[in-house]
Amino acid sequence: TEWIELDLGQEMQVSKLILYPRQGKVGFPRAFTVQFGRSREALSGIATYTDVQPSETKGQTIDLYSVIGYPTLRYVRITAHTLGKPADDEHAVYRLQFRRIQVVPPVFEPVK
């Protein structure tokens, strides 16, 4: 099991995460869990994904909206349960890899 943890530097509301794979989807997890929280010690599970095949250009979107709204968080942990294919120059080495992880705040429309 491999994981990556993001520290956003401060608490903020987040509407979604977008996980972008490397070219060729190298190292992108096929099965993973996303957890988040206000502290490292209090991460809660949000969702487990299986059989993921992300678009290289659009990535894999993780929607964080729930019935109580957008969560306020500081830490995000992505734990890979099944890793994707290894890089061509490392045939037997499996690593958790992303090209980019985008953290998207909510967009609130003004009331008219």
Q: How far is CA 24 from CA 53, 68, 85, 90, in A?
A: 11, 37, 9, 14
> Tokens standing for 83?
């890793």
CA distance 105 to 103: 7
Identify any residues that bridge with 107 across adjacent strands, giving them in sequence order: none
Which of 58, 60, 55, 52 lies closest to 84 in space, CA to CA? 52
Per-residue pLDDT of the chain (112 residues; tens, 9 = 90+): 899 999 999 999 999 999 999 988 999 999 999 999 999 999 987 889 999 988 889 999 999 998 889 999 999 999 999 998 898 888 888 899 999 999 999 987 666 7
Q: What is the pLDDT of residue 63?
A: 94
Q: What is the pLDDT of residue 66?
A: 86
